[in-house]
Amino acid sequence: MTSNTMRTVFPEIEPYRTGTLAVDELHTLYWEECGNPEGQPVLFLHGGPGAGTSPSHRRFFDPAHYRIVLFDQRGAGKSTPLGEYRNNTTALLIEDIEKIRVMLGIQQWLVFGGSWGSTLALAYGEAHPERCLGFILRGIFLCTKAEVDWFVNGMGYFYPEIHQRFAEAIPVEERGDLLQAYVKRLFCDDPAIYMEAARNWSRYEGSCLFLKPQAEAIASFESDEVSLGIGRLEAHYMLHGAFMEDDALIRNIARIRHLPAVIVQGRYDVICPPVSAYRLHRAWPEAAYHVIGDAGHAAMEPGIASALVQATEDFKTQRRFS
């Protein structure tokens, strides 16, 4: 970073344009543009998968400088159908990003993503490096087998009571493979069963997001609108290893190493532990690497939000991060 001063996010703004884009016979995406229509394009990729965008996500960017593009990925947020996991793979999400870029007439853009958004940002960049100006990545998730196992089982080492509640929603005889047990329920045809499973899954994640738990955030993760997308799509992508070969994002990093990037990671991120960010930085030493000592996973924790805003400010000049 160029300064030790804590930065705050920008004031709330409204989109100047919104729309929908049918990407196949099943999925229609919601998208929006904010900020300066003639500004430097930046693409925001939300987490989950399935979490969707929120008004707070617009606030990492100076609206006088940036043309801010946000969209809800397949099955998430305002995109329809909510929670739809059919025709939903990483390759298809990358195709969707390209369709949005072409529709908006953008040649290149800065790519900003956190958590699952960092996964998708890396996958998109490695598929289309010529379309990327650089990357701002937070809470790194590479969707390896080890990370999936950590999410489903390992977080119980730090949040045993929360993990116990997550596991006890499943009969004892099925607890040996919690991912498969949740998949069985999340992808069934009975709304009463899959909605309960989705709320349990989403509550589990929401309860571990912050260094200091926030009741309001946990409650939002339990809502039907949020939990169905998160529960179904996270389980879907974890079950299939994000439809990539294990550790493919690290092995293919040479495709984007020539581009400027910054990695922001909470030291006490239990959902996406720092080891993944550290592995990414070791493979991509040119990328700036900032570990926030008093933060967990959430983008809006003060130290993380400050580092992300500093990164977007630094990128105005497209200079290498320091």
Q: Which residues carry out catalysis?
A: 115, 269, 297
Give which of 87, 98, 102 is closest to 125, Cα–Cα: 98
C-alpha span between 133 and 234 (Å, rounded) = 28
Element (H, E) at 32: strand 28-35
- Asked if residues 140 and 265 have their Cβ atoms less than 8 Å apart, the reply is yes
- Per DSSP, the residues of 94-154 read HHHHHHHHHHHT-S-EEEEEETHHHHHHHHHHHH-GGGEEEEEEES-----HHHHHHHHTG
What is d(CA 290, CA 322) in angstroms, rounded to the nearest whole number? Answer: 10
With 0-12 CB in 10 A as exposed, 13-18 as middle and 19+ as buried, what is 184? Answer: middle
In the 8-state DSSP scheme, what is residue 301?
Answer: S
Q: CA-CA distances (angstroms) from residue 305 to 22, 121, 216, 233, 250?
A: 33, 18, 18, 26, 25
* 3-state percent helix, strand, coil for the chain, nearest multiple of 5: 45, 15, 40
Cα distance between residue 188 and residue 283, in whole Å: 40
Residue 212: exposure state from Cβ atoms within 10 A (0-12, 13-18, ≥19):
exposed
User: Which conformational region is residue 139 in: left (phi greater than 0), alpha (psi within -120 to 50 degrees), or beta?
Assistant: left
> Tokens 């949020």 appear where?
226
If we measure between CA atoms, which residue out of 143, 138, 164 comes closest to residue 89?
A: 143
